[in-house]
Chains A and B, each alone.
Chain A
Amino acid sequence: MANQKKGGAVAAVGGFFKSVGGFLSDFGTAFVKGDVFVKLSAVWMGAGYARRRQYAKAVIMTALEAAVIAFTIVFAMQYVPKFGTLGTVTMERVFNMQTMKSEFNDYDNSFSILLFSLFSFVIWAAALVIWMKNIINVYRLQKMDEAGEHINTFREDLHSYIEDKFHITLLTLPVLGITVFTFVPILLLIFVAFTNYDQQHMPPSALFSWTGFTNFLSLFGGGGLTTTFSYAFVRVLGWTLVWAFFATFTTYIGGILLSLLLNSQKTRAPRFWRTLFIITIAVPQFVSLLLVRNFFSNGGIVNTICANIGLTGFLRNIGLVSTSYIPFLSAPGWAHVMIILINIWIGIPYQMLIATGVLMNLPADQLESARVDGAKPYQIFAKITMPYMLFVTGPALVTDFVKNINNFNVIYLLTEGVYTTTNQAMANSQAKEVDLLVTWLFRLTQDYYNYKMASAIGIIVFIICAVFTLFAFNRMIGNGREEDYQ
């Protein structure tokens, strides 16, 4: 599955540009070879249809064109011209002589300017595609007319949306959803990273403006005196990678071992045992993680037990603990190890499920012949089971690594409000030693309104994930060949 999903990421980029090229050349041909009505369609989008007596379509296209023009004049022109500066008029209270009241002036809202300009760009891009597509369609109609073929009536056109154009009916809404809730936000994030949008520059009361690569510079150590972002960034990034590595591999190996253990012929009642393990992941994470965090809290039950059996005293004697309790989740080092251990608890049953599914399809004849040849169990594991698992779940392993880089839940639910950093430099940039890039970014936006840095961090996270994925997949597999399975 994952194989198809990301296998062709490199080919995807290439394929995308190729089809764009094809579309452009179609458009060129249509425009150059079309008759006067096709050319007229470039100005009046309904022209070509009207000439071929598709009046309903002509009306629709004209209305669409009018709508885009109206949108441009009434809406877009308020924002797009200010896109270069992101607004110049700050909000002020002015006394209105007519109403005898203090009112706000006609101020600029930088964020609205940025967002709605972006919105206009997307609409215009869509309109441009429709406009080009329209010319191609009209040219096709012209050729059909010349060849004396039947031209669809409006009713037939409508009918085609449940026939050969059914994909348009199916895809319009989902694609719209993805555009609005994934595509535009990502663009917005990229733009915000190049501004100084933060608590001191919060619309509507203040303006923000373009600052170029300043935010990235301060992440990478050019920040000057006031910020310590580069210091925190290196540490948070380091822990993010360490965490992602351990979280992925411990649960992956553990999951395979557990599933081998459960599916062994020696196991009695395997379904019962499997159910017990699955219960752990069936409980929502916000319940189980919040619970575990209190289980291991400074005054919690585990600490009481450790104190009673003398473990706390022992650890204090050898110098691992300096407090009267064991700081499982509240001191650096301890918290890092505990988080990885707790993640093992949460992650292994999940990996066990996946591994069980894959191992069911393990070629049984290979195992059998290995056993006949006298291979030891660990030899079978190392030479047959693991290579097979790696072959099948390799792509999923890469996806898991990326997911762990962004594993917000585990870190946030375990440490937020429990772990307080004592490192002043980290605290200055609102980071903690146990933060991942995403939890740091979340805190920066939610509690400190530091959108500019959060966006810059977000872009860095994307680059790390994308480069890692592309690199790993390019080495592991080629393009997904979905047609082979049909």
Chain B
Amino acid sequence: MKKMKSNRTSRIIGHNVLIGVLAFIWLIPIVWLVCTSFSSYPGMNTSTFFPKEWSLIHYQKLFHPDTVQQFPRWFMNTFIIACFTTVISTSFVVMVAYATSVLRFPMRKPLMNMAVILNLFPGMLSMIAVYFVLKTFNLTNSYAGLIMVYSGSAGLGYLIAKGFFDTVPRALCEAARIDGCSEARIFWQIVIPMSRPILVYTVISSFLAPWMDFVFAKMILNAGISANYTVAIGLYKMLDKSLINSYFTIFCCGGVLVSVPISILFFIMQKFYVEGITGGAVKG
């Protein structure tokens, strides 16, 4: 009996050690990012894992822009773009999701079918064509163009929110309708207040899109001047072959500073996403 118990304990220890080892492997690059950002040497440290000398000097440099790196500006640019994108995308997503979920109208099925077909086109491909269009209207190298690219087709990503609205009890809406409530009021005063989890999820995920994105920003802002970049493009340009030796540590600092708020939002979104899916299921 005793032997069995010790056997079990060693199995538990082995199990947790295995997870520990995996987590260790997974975190190596992240730890390296944080450590390198505190290095006093501006280029890439190639001989040792941990910096030889620790200092905060590159964090200070990050807030004193020069011609190449203008992190505070980039951060503001991305923030502005993200705010606009959030407002437009969220309203598009919620509007489409609500219309297709709660309302019944003749064009509902055909429209949803169209969305299925359009979703088969990878976003990347249509964006190359969008680039042509924006170029014709002189909207490349402008925030307006980038915001349009991020939020213009947001309506196509309505399915998660629709899944949530589908679980809102129909009896509530029916009751409101019988009491003479208009469709618009049902939308604003009954369904929207009940949908906090999915709203938070939609808001955060559309806010994160511009922060996480690299391709579209590169495509549209590439030829612009440094002060107009977003964080992604700015940090990418710092790793250019001619710049990497003097900017690598600053890149790490920027990477850490961008990752902190994004990670926090990401974790919040996580929670609401699960809540939006499971919470809705319980209600229905």
Contact = CB atoms under 8 A, between A and B. Distances in A.
Interface string B39-50: 000001111110
Contacts of A9: 116-117, 120
B96 A286 contact: no
Interface in B242-260: 244, 248, 251-252, 255, 258-259
A266 B18 CA distance: 11
Interface in A110-166: 111-112, 115, 162-164, 166
B129 A304 contact: no
Interface in B1-36: 11-12, 15-16, 18-19, 22-23, 26-27, 29-30, 32-33
A287 interface: yes
A417 B238 CA distance: 13
Given A9-B120, A267-B19, A277-B26, A15 B109 contact: yes
B160 interface: yes
A300 B29 contact: no
Nearest to A261: B19
B27 A174 contact: no
Given A16-B113, A294-B239, A167 B214 contact: no
A100 interface: no
A469 interface: yes
B15 A163 contact: no
A13 B277 CA distance: 29
Given A282-B262, A287-B235, A178 B156 contact: yes
Contact of B27 (A4, A276, A412, A413): A276
Contact of B267 (A173, A278, A288): A278
B187 A465 contact: no
A451 B132 contact: yes
A185 B215 contact: no
Nearest to B211: A284
Given A5-B159, A178-B118, A445 B128 contact: yes
A87 interface: no
A67 interface: no
Contacts of B98: 170
A452 interface: no
Interface in B84-121: 92, 95-96, 98-99, 103, 105-121
B266 interface: yes
Contact of A283 (B19, B127, B259): B259
B120 A170 contact: no
A329 to B, nearest CB: 13
Interface stretch (A205-213, A402-410, A424-432): A402-410
A1 B26 contact: no
A482 interface: yes
Interface string A168-191: 011101110110111111101100
Given A9-B120, A469-B120, A290 B156 contact: no
B224 interface: no
B182 to A, nearest CB: 5
B148 interface: yes
A13 B113 CA distance: 7
Contacts of B214: 285-286, 409, 412-413
Interface in B215-254: 215, 219, 222, 232, 235-236, 239-241, 244, 248, 251-252
Interface in A263-312: 264, 266-268, 273, 275-288, 290-292, 294-295, 297, 299-301, 303-305
Contact of A173 (B26, B92, B126, B270): B92
A345 interface: yes
A381 B175 CA distance: 47
A486 interface: yes
A48 B117 CA distance: 36
Given A184-B133, A458-B125, A290 B239 contact: yes
A485 B111 contact: no
Interface residues of B, number: 102
A357 interface: yes
Contacts of A188: 129, 132-133
Interface in B131-165: 131-133, 136, 148-149, 151-156, 159-160, 163
Contacts of B128: 185, 189, 441-442, 445, 454-455, 458
Given A273-B23, A454-B128, A174 B95 contact: yes
Contacts of A442: 124, 128, 215, 219
B248 A174 contact: no
A318 to B, nearest CB: 25
Residues of A contacting B: mostly:
helix
Contacts of B119: 5-6
Contact of B270 (A261, A267, A278, A292): A278
B68 interface: no
Interface in A425-481: 438, 441-442, 445-446, 451, 454-455, 458, 461-462, 465-466, 469
A441 B116 CA distance: 24
B195 interface: no
B132 A185 contact: yes
Contact of B111 (A6, A171, A266, A413): A171
B138 to A, nearest CB: 12
A167 B106 CA distance: 10
A255 interface: no
A178 B153 contact: yes
Interface in A386-410: 402, 405-406, 408-409
A174 B167 CA distance: 23
B259 A282 contact: yes
B263 A282 contact: yes
A406 B127 CA distance: 12
A38 to B, nearest CB: 20
A136 to B, nearest CB: 11
Contacts of B106: 19
Nearest to B184: A162
A12 B255 contact: no
B193 interface: no
B110 A186 contact: no
A287 B259 contact: yes
B284 interface: yes
A40 interface: no
A329 B19 CA distance: 28
A8 B125 contact: no
Nearest to B215: A408
A273 B19 contact: yes
A5 B116 contact: yes
B154 A182 contact: no
Given A189-B129, A282-B259, A284-B262, 18 more contacts: A6-B116, A12-B112, A162-B183, A167-B105, A167-B107, A175-B155, A178-B156, A183-B118, A184-B133, A266-B11, A267-B16, A267-B19, A268-B12, A277-B26, A406-B125, A413-B236, A462-B125, A486-B170
3 closest pairs, A vs B, by CB? A174-B155, A181-B152, A185-B129
